[in-house]
Every structure is written in C-alpha cells, then in structure tokens.
C-alpha cells in the first residue's frame, strides 16, 4: 500500500523540486556574506511538498475527468482504481498543507513576501488540471513549470539562504527551469495520442508530434547553453559539458521516433540529467 502511494507521488519528477534548491543554496555559499542552511533545508521541504502535491492533484483531477484511463507511464491512482478519488485529493491537500506550514515558518524567518508567493504556487499547482478551465489543458503548463520550479524556486532558495537578491540567481535558474520544462514536455509527448482523444490540449497536442519533439530538444540545448553561461560566475560551469553524452543519448531516442512506453525510460533519464547538471553546477559554485 505504501509503495503504491510512493509510486503515485511520481518519484521521477522529484529532481524538478530538488535541483533549484541545490543550485540556489550553492550560489548563496559562493557570493553571499552568510548562508542559512536551515532556511535552505526548509526551502527543500516546501519544494518537495509542492511537487508531490501537484502530482497527487493531477492524478485526482485527471482521474475524475476520465482522461487517465488506459494510459502508459507512471501509476495513476484514481484512473487505475488503486485509490479512491477522495483519498488522492486528501493526499494532495495534506501535501499542500505541509508546504504551507513550512513556508509560513520560512516566511517568519526571512520575509512575509513569501506568503503570497507560496499561495500563488499552490493555486498554480491545483489549477494546472483541477479548475473548471485547467490551464494545463490549454498548453500553458510548461510556462508555469519554468516560472515556479525554475525561477521562483532557484531565486527563492537563494533569497532565503542569503537574505538578499542577485542577478546571478536568475541566471542559474534558467537551466534548472529548462530541464523542469523538459520533464513535463517528454511526459506530454508520451501522452500526446491519448490526450488528443480526450481533448486535453497540452502544448504537445497543440504543437503536434514533430514540433513537440523539437521543442523538447530545444529545452535540452537551452539548458546546456545557459549552464555554460554560468561561467561568468564560475569558470567551472563548463564542467556541465561532461553531461553531453547523456543528452545525446536522449536526443537520439527522441529523433528516432520513440513513442508510448518507449518514452518512459527517457523521462527518468531527463530527470537524472537535471539532477546531475544541477549538482555539477552546485559543485562548480562551491569550488
């Protein structure tokens, strides 16, 4: 039973929550006068809770709308009948509630501006698929992911760890956000045929298969280019080029036309690429 709920939390997407905290914390170590590791840890808990919450919320909303039937990919708790809709909804609210509590503690330690920012993040997480007009069904999911799991999470972590803002945090949020988008993009590419059938018009559906693949590959390229741009802060940022073989491997499979279940391993590889690239940038920043 526990393993079912862990699978429902979609662990392969968790690098999108961990990566911005790693990078933001490392940057604060490099350029800030002081670093609060307690605040960085709290930021990690908030980020993970939001990611798990949005995964459960997505499972619930798609499940009750009947768009998760006979899908490939991660376990769908509601769609597959492994858990009731009410239980999955409750899990989502518990995750969001935990994120709210930790976020409030973090706000009292830093700035109350984090409260409205956190509220917007939770609203965005729920309305991705959970409102009467979910923006995820209209092709805007990638924008939200780039904003909240890229810019907001990275810059926010830097801010709570250092109590200041810096343009370097925005720079390093770009590769993190691009690969968070890539995780969603390959997920939507995998689901494109079935999403089109149920009128779930994700960006992949709106673009079509060939353009969706090109978009995904563009995100990988942008992530590498923006990582190299980090050399203006630390020359060791070029070490991210060592990860190009992984990117090339993913690229070949995408260009070869992999579909359906064949894209599932690539989702995991994209998540690992994000975590490895973020870790490499973090090491480059603390050297």
Per-residue pLDDT tens digits for 20-36: 999 999 999 999 888 89
Q: Whole-model pTM?
A: 0.93
Q: List, in order, residues 6 or more apart from 28 with CB less than 8 Å away.
A: 35, 40, 157, 158, 161, 162
69 has pLDDT over 70 = no
DSSP tag of 149: I
Query: What CATH number does the domain containing 9 carry?
Result: 1.10.600
pLDDT digits (tens, 9 = 90+) for 174-195: 999 999 999 999 999 998 988 8
From the list 63, 57, 130, the residue with the least C-alpha distance to 99 is 57
Question: Which domain range does residue 80 map to?
Answer: 2-286
259 has pLDDT over 90 = no
Burial-class residue 139 by CB neighbours within 10 Å (0-12, 13-18, 19+): middle
User: In the prediction, which pLDDT does 73 show?
Assistant: 63
Dist CA 167 CA 165 (whole Å): 7
User: In the prediction, which pLDDT does 47 show?
Assistant: 96
pLDDT digits (tens, 9 = 90+) for 88-134: 999 999 999 999 999 999 999 999 999 999 999 999 999 998 877 88
Q: What is the Rg, in whole angstroms, of the alpha carbon atoms belonging to the chain?
A: 18
CA distances to 55, 67, 90, 182 from 9, in Å: 6, 18, 13, 19
DSSP tag of 152: I
68 has pLDDT over 80 = no
Evaluate whether 84 touches 73 at the Cβ level (below 8 Å): no
Number of domains present in the structure of the chain: 1
137 has pLDDT over 70 = yes
128 half-sphere exposure, CB direction, 13 A CA radius: 26
DSSP tag of 127: H
Average pLDDT over residues 228-256: 96
74 has pLDDT over 80 = no
Dist CA 111 CA 47 (whole Å): 17
Q: Which residue has the tokens 């429902």?
A: 8
């Amino acid at each position: 039973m526990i393993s079912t709920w862990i699978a429902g939390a979609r662990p392969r997407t968790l690098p999108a929550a961990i990566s911005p905290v790693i990078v933001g914390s490392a940057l604060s170590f490099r350029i800030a006068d002081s670093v609060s590791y307690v605040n960085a840890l709290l930021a990690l808990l908030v980020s993970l809770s939001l990611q798990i919450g949005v995964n459960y919320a997505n499972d619930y909303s798609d499940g009750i709308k009947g768009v998760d039937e006979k899908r490939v990919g991660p376990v769908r708790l509601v769609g597959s009948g492994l858990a009731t809709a009410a239980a999955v909804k409750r899990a989502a609210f518990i995750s969001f509630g935990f994120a709210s509590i930790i976020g409030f503690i973090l706000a009292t330690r830093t700035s109350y501006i984090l409260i409205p920012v956190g509220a917007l993040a939770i609203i965005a997480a729920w309305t991705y698929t959970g409102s009467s007009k979910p923006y995820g069904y209209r092709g805007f999911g990638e924008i939200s992911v780039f904003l909240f799991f890229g810019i907001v999470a990275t810059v926010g972590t830097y801010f709570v760890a250092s109590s200041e803002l810096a343009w370097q945090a925005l720079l390093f949020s770009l590769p993190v956000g691009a690969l968070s988008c890539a995780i969603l993009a390959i997920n939507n590419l995998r689901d494109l045929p079935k999403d089109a059938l149920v009128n779930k018009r994700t960006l992949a559906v709106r673009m079509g298969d060939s353009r969706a693949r090109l978009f995904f590959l563009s995100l990988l390229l942008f992530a590498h280019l923006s990582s190299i741009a980090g050399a203006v802060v630390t020359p060791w940022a070029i070490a991210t080029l060592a990860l190009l073989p992984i990117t090339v491997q993913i690229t070949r499979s995408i260009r070869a036309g992999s579909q359906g279940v064949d894209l599932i391993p690539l989702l995991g590889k994209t998540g690992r690429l994000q975590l490895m690239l973020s870790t490499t940038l973090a090491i480059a920043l603390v050297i």
